[in-house]
Amino acid sequence: MQGFFTAFIELNIWLQSFSNPFLDTLFRAITFLGNEEFYLILPPLLYWCFDKRMGARLTVLFLLSSYLNEDLKDLFRVPRPFIRAPDKVRALVTEEPITYCFPSGHAQSTTVVWGYLATQVRKRWAWIVALVIPFLVGLSRIYLGVHHVMAVLGGWAIGGLLILLGLWFMPAMGRSLARGGLSAQLPLAVAVPLALFLVHPTEGTAATMGTLIGMGIGVALERRLVGFSAWGVWWKRVLRLLLGLVVLLALYFGLKMIFPGVEEAGWWLGLTFRLIRYGLVGLWAGWLAPWLFVITGLAEREEEV
């Protein structure tokens, strides 16, 4: 299997033959659109400031996609090009920890996120964005030497399949959970992501499933106890985003400094702290931030709009 993937490294070599400081900087900027830090901003922006239901569904789909990507990488165990051929391919971006190559998480995530948004917006410009961004991000991963072309193609294909599954499954699941109330929603919000984490306990799955637990609890509580509207005048939306992101980033980076990692605390305790850390980030995004927006007057309740 690994020998099969090695044959596609020639495209990395060819693209890197054009390497220069401008292209290096350009592709590092493009690849940021698939980084975890970017997705700390985009889903909350949508959820807090434009369409909370679309934002919630996008977040769930993105997190499940990231979890599946981690599973597939550990299943196939394909080395990255700069590891497979260190004398031919350079890693032009530093990413820690170094994981496996196939399928490309950046290609898969951008396909899922922008493709799903295009299906909801249903405008020509949205479909153009849904094609251009995943293509450029995938190209950046090849140029930067961290993925080969088959990993990128695999990420695009899996992302497209997940969009189709999400469009079919999430509306029905949402209606079912809404009928069950908090007594059904809260146990499922904890049990399903926790079970998925225990099936494949890694630092990556602790992050995605921790966020899903927090966001799932948060969205359920927000709908029952807050019911905020993501609409409003533009300056209130801007203030919402700024206030929400300040606290979200404080939790994301602050708890990272406070909670011991796997190396300091041991495997299971470190993963537990990581699960809690990302769970608090999700809880803030899903419930506590909307509650704060309402009590500070930065958002109205839906029944008041």
Residues 6, 155 within the same domain: yes
Residues 29, 170 within the same domain: yes
Contact between 251 and 281 under an 8 Å Cβ cutoff? The reply is yes
Residues 139, 277 within the same domain: no
Backbone angles phi, psi at 301, to 5 degrees: -80, 150
Q: How many domains does the chain have?
A: 2
Residues 198, 173 within the same domain: no
Q: What are the beta bridge partners of residue 228?
A: 301
pLDDT digits 0-9 by tens, 214-273: 999 999 999 999 999 999 999 999 999 999 999 999 999 999 999 988 888 889 999 999
Residues 186, 173 within the same domain: no
Q: What are the beta bridge partners of residue 301?
A: 228
> And the tokens for 72?
């597939």
Residues 119, 223 within the same domain: no
pLDDT of residue 305: 46
Instruction: Enumerate helices (H) and strands (E) in the chain, giving the number of each.
Output: 15, 0
SS (H, E, C) 71-112: HHHHHHCCCCHHHHCCCCCCCCCCCCCCCCCCCCHHHHHHHH
Residues 142, 1 within the same domain: yes
Domain-ending residue, one of 122, 156, 177:
177
Domain housing 198 = 181-305
* CA terminus-to-terminus distance, the chain: 57
pLDDT of residue 59: 96
Q: Which one-letter amino acid corresponds to residue 269? A: L
Residues 47, 153 within the same domain: yes
Residues 47, 161 within the same domain: yes
Residues 15, 153 within the same domain: yes
Domain-ending residue, one of 116, 146, 177:
177
CATH of the domain at 80: 1.20.144
Report d(CA 215, CA 287) in Å as an integer: 8
Determine what percent of the chain is predicted with pLDDT higher than 70: 97
Domain-ending residue, one of 177, 203, 232:
177
Residues 212, 87 within the same domain: no
Residues 172, 299 within the same domain: no
Which residue in the block uniquely carries the two structure tokens 């497209």? Answer: 160
Averaged over successive runs of 10 residues, the pLDDT of the chain (305 residues) comes to 67 92 95 92 95 94 97 93 88 83 95 96 95 97 94 96 91 74 88 96 96 96 94 95 96 92 88 96 97 96 71
